[in-house]
Amino acid sequence: MTSKTITMTAVAALISAGAVSAQETLEMTSAFGKNLPILGTAATDFVDKINSISSEVEFEHFDPGELVPTLEALDAVSNGSVDAAFTTSGYWQGKITAASLFAAVPFGPEAGEFLAWMLYDDGHALMQRMYDENGYNVHVQPCGIIAPETSGWFKNEITSLEDLKGLNMRFFGLGAEVMQRLGVSTSLLAGGDIFPALERGAIDATEFSMPIIDARLGFYQIAKFNYFPGWHQPATMFELLVNKDRWDELDERSQNQIQIACLANITTNYAEGEAKNFDAMVENTEKNGVTIKSWTPEQLAVFESTWNEVAAELAAEDAYFKEVWDDLTEFRAGYKTWGDTIYLPRPRN
């Protein structure tokens, strides 16, 4: 028997004994096109990370609409028509009242505090319970985070909050509830649908993400006034959803590799956003004709008081929202001892 024959026989024996298994391939839809910096690269970077460290499981990336539209990803992963999705839970607010609390909270935690609650307190467990108790057959893993977004692009300057009344605006998550109380008609559009809606006048204003991302989508061509700070999204968490049946079929090593790749992805996703946006802000003003505006302290106070009213009403209406909101509020009260003491005040000269 030749050495080649011995080798082939040994491989065949290992396969028949289950020592060598076929690689699992999971098709993953993303909520954000791979052409988008930070949002889109978060999904492709995760795929690169997991595929580089695992020989047992591989992810295949698909842009929004290639498998399912962005806003249908949760249902698709749950019913198994798609294996996985890189997205954010704020897109499910219309289905689950508490969903946006795991995505972005108006006047809520910034990235470090949000991760602390999610990974070292009750956040992740409550997030999984939310999906379980609402009948969704998914495993969820925090898989990215970014610092604040801008709070809106407007065609006309907002001289007072009265100017918001009657506007049609694309708005995300719980902040949309605040804007509606202030007279804005809001709609949730996927990223690729926003510019056409602005162009044809279906919406008068929009928020979406960070300056470099919004610039890539061309909002500055139509809406020249960009408002800060991002009170509605002090940080935004992204999630990896995996069909629960597919997740349970994976061995423990593969599951751990996915979790590790997501934790690494949180780091690079956050760092990329911090690294690239100041140049985009300069380019927006110097080349794209954008006027950067800041809400006044008085205007921010109105946004915050309105949000507190919204949060109280949602907690009264929905028991699970209340449970999550109370848990986050309790954590934030404890964190305040640290957070209000340790950091230098902003802005710094």
Q: How large a percentage of the chain has pLDDT more than 90?
A: 91
Q: What is the pLDDT of residue 14?
A: 40
For residues 270 and 147, the answer to whether their CB atoms sit within 8 Å is yes
Q: What is the pLDDT of residue 346?
A: 86
Report d(CA 319, CA 184) in Å as an integer: 27
Of 73, 310, 323, whose CA–CA distance to 178 is shortest?
310
Q: What is the mean pLDDT of residues 143-166?
A: 96
Q: CATH 3.40.190.10: which residues of the chain?
A: 152-233+280-342
Higher pLDDT, 5 or 213: 213
Higher pLDDT, 4 or 294: 294
Residue 301 has pLDDT above 50, yes or no: yes
Residue 55 has pLDDT above 80, yes or no: yes
Q: What is the pLDDT of residue 71?
A: 95
Q: What is the mean pLDDT of residues 89-107?
A: 97
Residue 11 has pLDDT above 60, yes or no: no
For residues 184 and 123, the answer to whether their CB atoms sit within 8 Å is no
Residue 262 has pLDDT above 90, yes or no: yes
Residue 9 has pLDDT above 50, yes or no: no
Higher pLDDT, 22 or 344: 344
Q: What is the mean pLDDT of residues 311-334?
A: 98
Q: What is the pLDDT of residue 12?
A: 43
Q: What is the mean pLDDT of residues 90-117?
A: 97
Whole-number average pLDDT of the chain: 93
Q: What is the pLDDT of residue 23?
A: 83
Enter the CATH code of domain 25-148+234-276. 3.40.190.170
Q: What is the mean pLDDT of residues 269-293?
A: 97
Residue 17 has pLDDT above 80, yes or no: no
Q: What is the pLDDT of residue 337?
A: 97
Residue 219 has pLDDT above 60, yes or no: yes
Q: What is the pLDDT of residue 347?
A: 84
Q: CATH 3.40.190.170: which residues of the chain?
A: 25-148+234-276
Confidence of residue 7 (pLDDT cuts 50, 70, 90): very low
Q: What is the mean pLDDT of residues 27-54?
A: 97
Q: What is the mean pLDDT of residues 329-336?
A: 98
Q: How large a percentage of the chain has pLDDT more than 70?
A: 93
Q: What is the pLDDT of residue 348?
A: 74
Confidence of residue 22 (pLDDT cuts 50, 70, 90): low
Choose the CATH number for 152-233+280-342 among 1.10.1370.40, 3.30.70.100, 3.40.190.10, 3.10.290.10.
3.40.190.10
Q: What is the pLDDT of residue 349?
A: 65
Residue 13 has pLDDT above 50, yes or no: no
